[in-house]
Amino acid sequence: MKMIIVLKPNSTTEEIDHILERIQELGLKPHLSRGERRTIIGVIGDENKLQAQPLQAIPGVEQVLPILKPFKLAGREMHPADSVVTVGKVRIGGGSLAMIAGPCAVESAAVLDEIAGHVKAAGANILRGGAFKPRTSPYSFQGLGEEGLRILRDTGARHGMPVVTEVMDPRQVPLVERYADMFQIGARNMQNFDLLKEVGQVRKPVLLKRGMSATVKDLLMSAEYILSEGNLQVVLCERGVRSFEDSTRNMLDLSAVPNVKVQSHLPIIVDPSHATGRPDLIPAMARAAVAAGADGVHVEVHNCPEKALSDGPQALLPDQYTALMQDLRRLADVMGKSV
């Protein structure tokens, strides 16, 4: 049974027959259950057909209630064990934590090299940095493009860290694929379905960030787009959602971590930097993420936030990151996980 159709009270026999006919026309199988005052019809059949049909617009129908989860590749039902995604030699999920760190944007080889040295020493295992930057204003710094990708790859190689970077446009996918070990899909593009399909056709891991007003179900449906194209290496990322609270940049929804884990086998990490936008809150939220069961933490680090070309004010200083990593290792230990 995939859906339940609740009919209006006193629906007529004609209405009921019409509904049964429509369901059968669609190649679906109705299952009638007449109550004293209400009649209910269960519908069995191909989920795709069901989702494409506006059953609630049929006269006599009061409510259509879906039963099965709409994601099958991302869901735990068909895949009960936790997935582990491998980026370079780093395992994410199944007890292994990804510690992703780096500046918001790649600015220069020298700056990135210095930051990479710091975060590697502190225990980070994946280096991040943006070469294509989605900026609210067309007049803000938009990233170094291919030059940034090259710097990122070379710096990662020098410090022995695989690299992750954002891709914003389906046309950039082949270029980014040449340089990066993992694609990042940013929050603003979580429902850029053509981009999701494009990275779905590549065989490299994807870090999919939750949209600013996406439900957990929406996030899993977007993962389903990538998975359904054949790329099974998807890591989700909670990075805060829009809310009325005006003292933080976004509201970090840490309950998304266990919520995803109940429904899906995919790893999920947390980005407290974009979520809070405030260095004074990032360490507490990173610790909370590990205790909530996240498979990793994504933190922006910059050696001189005041000169950063993008999002400087939300970055941790290298020393703050080093102190944070010490806390995270102790918490990982309590949680039975390893960095």
Among residue numbers 100 through 139, which ones bind its own copies (CB under 8 A)? 134-139
Quick one: which of 276, 300, 301, 339 contacts its own copies (CB under 8 A)? 276
Decide if 220 contacts 74 (C-beta within 8 A).
yes
Q: Return all residues near 323 (Cβ < 8 A) that are at least 6 apart.
A: 283
CB nearer to its own copies: pick between 59 and 160: 59
Within 220-259, which residues bind its own copies (CB under 8 A)?
221, 224-225, 228, 241-248, 251-255, 257-259
With binding defined as CB under 8 A, does residue 65 bind its own copies? Answer: yes
With binding defined as CB under 8 A, does residue 21 bind its own copies? Answer: no
Burial of residue 89 (CB within 10 Å: 0-12, 13-18, 19+) is exposed
Q: How many helices and strands in the chain, by DSSP H and E? A: 11, 14
Q: How far is the CB of 302 from its own copies (least distance, A)?
A: 9
Within 142-171, which residues bind its own copies (CB under 8 A)?
168-171
With binding defined as CB under 8 A, does residue 173 bind its own copies? Answer: no
Q: How far is the CB of 1 from its own copies (least distance, A)?
A: 4
Decide if 277 contacts 245 (C-beta within 8 A).
no
CA pair distance 277, 258, nearest whole angstrom: 23
With binding defined as CB under 8 A, does residue 188 bind its own copies? Answer: yes
Decide if 203 contacts 173 (C-beta within 8 A).
no
Q: Interacting stretch for its own copies, rule CB under 8 A, among 27-35, 89-97, 119-127, 154-162? A: 27-35
Q: How far is the CB of 137 from its own copies (least distance, A)?
A: 5
Q: How far is the CB of 158 from its own copies (least distance, A)?
A: 27
Q: How far is the CB of 80 from its own copies (least distance, A)?
A: 14
Within 302-331, which residues bind its own copies (CB under 8 A)?
305-313, 315, 327, 330-331
Q: Provide the b/e sequence for 110-144 (b: ≥16 CB within 10 Å).
A: ebbebbbebbbebbbbbbbbbbbbeeeeeeeebbb
CA pair distance 306, 204, nearest whole angstrom: 34
Q: How far is the CB of 131 from its own copies (least distance, A)?
A: 14
Burial of residue 26 (CB within 10 Å: 0-12, 13-18, 19+) is middle
Q: How far is the CB of 27 from its own copies (least distance, A)?
A: 14
With binding defined as CB under 8 A, does residue 174 bind its own copies? Answer: no
Within 74-93, which residues bind its own copies (CB under 8 A)?
none
Residue with tokens 């069961």: 293
- Size of the chain, expressed as the number of residues it contains: 339
Q: How far is the CB of 236 from its own copies (least distance, A)?
A: 15
Quick one: which of 112, 126, 161, 216 contacts its own copies (CB under 8 A)? 216
CA pair distance 77, 97, nearest whole angstrom: 24
Q: Interacting stretch for its own copies, rule CB under 8 A, among 63-71, 84-92, 107-115, 158-166? A: 63-71
